[in-house]
Structure 1
Amino acid sequence: MTAAETYADAAPCIEELQSIHVQIAAWFDGTIAADTLDEIMAHFAADFTLVTTAGAALDRAGLAQLFGGAHGARPGCTIAIDDIAVIASWPTGAVLGYTEHQTSSAGSNVRRSTAVFEVDAQRHVRWRRLHETFTTAA
């Protein structure tokens, strides 16, 4: 597989990675309606797993509960994504690594993350697994 083919396979997953963080930041900030949680959760596969920065494993229901209690809890929240790396890709998915910078009125943090995505026959991208680790790197 060529580099161009790898990027082409991963492109929808990269787009998903960048767009969902805009929605999540708006959710934490409270600038989108509280009734948009189902729309956000539609981005995550039924068997989704999040390994949190503290090492806990949350399933999709746990993520929904986490988000449910966080609407508007971080005024001024912004999330910037950089250092995106295509670790692996195939026509129906990809594994991406990236650095996430979160800032809000409560402070800021940086995390390095690895995410597994799946792409269905209708070209909808879903998150399957996310592993986040805090870092002190800028």
Structure 2
Amino acid sequence: MSTDYDTIVDEIRTLHNDLALWLGTAGATAALDRFLTQQHPDFSMVTQTGMVVAREPLAAGLQGAGNSTPGLTIDILDIEILHHSPDSTVARFKEVHHHPSGPRARLTTALLLADPEARNGLRWRTVHETAVAR
């Protein structure tokens, strides 16, 4: 399976739009469902504080976080494809979370696996976030 650049970009932006919708809007359960469906069963992430979080604890934490940041939006900038093969893509991008208290940025590196059953043919396997200095 081969995925083009525009499809990869669409997947990255769509996933983060769903996350922002869930965290920033009341009653957006469909957005959370879409977000979690895109995570590989073995998904894990490294947070900005260096903690490794597996899919199930992440999902449990997000369940109670609906509308925890009213009005949140997330911009995705500077997307770089570091690796692309028929089986996987590694992308690095900047996330800017627009909170009521002001924007916060992070650099994210993500491994997406080819999956014909997933939206855009991609499923999120792992993410590593690094805080960007203000």
Shorter chain as denominator, the TM-score bin is 0.7 to 0.9
Alignment TM-score, normalising by the size of structure 1: 0.85
Residue 98 of structure 1: SS of its match in structure 2? strand
Unaligned runs of at least 5 residues, structure 2: none
Aligned residues: 131
What is the aligned-residue RMSD (CA, Å)?
2.0
**Cα offset for 1:97?**
0.3
Shift >4 Å, 4+ stretches: none
* Identical counterparts, % of pairs: 29
**Cα offset for 1:40?**
1.9
**Cα offset for 1:31?**
4.6
Aligned to 2:12: 17
Q: For the pair shown, which has the larger CA radius of gyration, 1 or 2?
A: 1
CA distance in 2 between counterparts of 1:89 and 1:101 reads 24
- Equivalent position amino acid for 2:15 in 1: I
Residue 27 of structure 1: SS of its match in structure 2? helix
Distance 1:26 1:32, change over 3 A: farther
**Cα offset for 1:37?**
2.8
Residue 73 of structure 1: SS of its match in structure 2? coil
**Cα offset for 1:32?**
4.9
CA distance in 1 between counterparts of 2:13 and 2:31 reads 18
**Cα offset for 1:35?**
5.4
What CA deviation, in whole Å up to 9, does each residue of 1:15-62 have, x standing for no partner?
210111111111111255235533320000000011001100011101
Unaligned runs of at least 5 residues, structure 1: 1-5
Match of 2:131 among 121, 129, 134: 134
